[in-house]
Structure 1
Amino acid sequence: MNAHIQSKTSAVTRVGAARIGIGGPVGSGKTALIERLIPAFAGRGIPIAIVTNDLVTAEDAERLRRSGLIDPKRVAAVEAGACPHTVIREDPTLNIAAADELEIAFPDAELIIIESGGDNLASTFSLDLVDWWMFVIDVAGGDDIPRKNGPGLMKCDLLVINKTDLAPHVGVNLDSMVADARKARGDKPIALTNCRADEGVEAIVDLVATQLLFK
């Protein structure tokens, strides 16, 4: 157990559980990705806790609590009450407080995942809230997304292109979509995932472990 992990990338110096954000449009598969990440981190011996954000419900939190994948008490819910980006960027105090409370309740946690409510391509995380963040898009949203150069896609530490299995069914050329994403992001990392088949998840865990966490 290591309850004192420092971030390499935070805007502030934080000793304790590292915090990662997961953002992206509605339906891109953020919660499904978390459901795959929970056992993947557990398999590496990395205890986690989770904060979810919804507009006026705790829907995503309840889904994770019922999943059987994690102690339900390790999942906190924030109701944004406004555009989801407000509480992850403009005024992240609700999320900071929720993460702080989880860290006090579960001092063994080495990582706290903060899931944004579904938002548009302009959604970004305050680095006062998270140390590192990923942005999830999916092929069903259209292969033109990487060419739109949205701030979420451009500024995130990791771009996740999800639901790769759907590409042939929605008329998307996945290779071209990935090429456009690489052109837009330069050498910033990109991960391809199919959460239904648990594909690409371990690569994300590897990246978190190597880029964010150190002991």
Structure 2
Amino acid sequence: MKKSAARLGIGGPVGSGKTALLECLVPLLIKEGLEVAIVTNDLLTTEDADRLKNKGILPPERIIGVETGSCPHTAIREDPSMNLLAIQDLEILYPQLDLIAIESGGDNLASTFSYDLVDAYIFVLDVGAGDDIPRKNGPGFVQSDLAVINKIDIAPYVGADLELIRREAPLYRQGKAIAYTNCKTGEGLDSVMRFILEKLLFVS
């Protein structure tokens, strides 16, 4: 009997680049021969799901948009039942799935995933939020299995000191994995892929 698909949470504030990261990762995962599906969370729309469907990175049936109708963190932490139902539907339709990504609606630094919902989760920040963001010590950033510092290319244009972020982020992460990414060029995506393959899917 086939095991359930691995579940990867992707959270972070509005505009940090969660959906863009998925747009980059899914084709790379497919190249590795993996079967992937996505569940997105939005408050009262299916905007992120529609965007991913329009990009054509997966057959549209493999992307489910969940309208949470409440604070985004509720559906990924306190009461993940809506997401669990969406995952169940995908696994029934596609029993061969290796990975289901669950993208949270944009939330603040306190957003974390319940491990009843996911096996591991990524928290995405972008440098446009400021180079003091690691020092704010938000639970999402500190506790996530992988922290992604995204949009590193814009640091000079928003007055953010990327080297300061690189020095301080590991102090607050206390040894947990960090990736620094630019989705436009693909820089740093190898680190995210390595995390997914080795730590979540156990593919060496």
Residues 1:127 and 2:115 aligned together: yes
Task: Supply the distance in 2 between the matched residues of 1:58 and 1:134 (Cα, whole angstroms).
Answer: 21
Match of 1:209 among 191, 194, 197: 197
Task: Supply the distance in 1 between the matched residues of 2:29 and 2:184 (Cα, whole angstroms).
Answer: 17
Task: Supply the distance in 2 between the matched residues of 1:178 and 1:79 (Cα, whole angstroms).
Answer: 36
Does the Cα contact within 8 Å between 1:138 and 1:163 map onto a contact in 2? yes
The equivalent of 2:38 in structure 1 is: 50
Amino acid at match of 1:143: D
Deviations 1:108-158 (A, max 9, x none): 210000000000000000000000000000000111110010000111000
What CA RMSD, in Å, does the superposition of the two structures yield over aligned residues?
1.1
Task: Supply the distance in 1 between the matched residues of 2:176 and 2:103 (Cα, whole angstroms).
Answer: 21
Structure 1, unmatched stretches of 5+, are 5-14
Does the Cα contact within 8 Å between 1:40 and 1:202 map onto a contact in 2? no
The number of residues matched between the two structures is 203
Structure 2, unmatched stretches of 5+, are none
Match of 1:104 among 81, 92, 100: 92
Deviation at 1:25, TM superposition (A): 0.2
Normalised by the size of structure 2, how large is the TM-score? Answer: 0.97
Task: Supply the distance in 1 between the matched residues of 2:71 and 2:167 (Cα, whole angstroms).
Answer: 31
Task: Supply the distance in 2 between the matched residues of 1:214 and 1:22 (Cα, whole angstroms).
Answer: 19
* SS of corresponding position for 1:19: strand
Normalised by the size of structure 1, how large is the TM-score? Answer: 0.92
Task: Supply the distance in 2 between the matched residues of 1:96 and 1:124 (Cα, whole angstroms).
Answer: 16
Deviating 4+ runs (over 6 angstroms)? none
Task: Supply the distance in 2 between the matched residues of 1:53 and 1:76 (Cα, whole angstroms).
Answer: 9
The equivalent of 2:145 in structure 1 is: 157
Q: Percent identity?
A: 56
Amino acid at match of 1:207: F
The equivalent of 1:115 in structure 2 is: 103
Deviation at 1:202, TM superposition (A): 2.2
Amino acid at match of 1:145: I
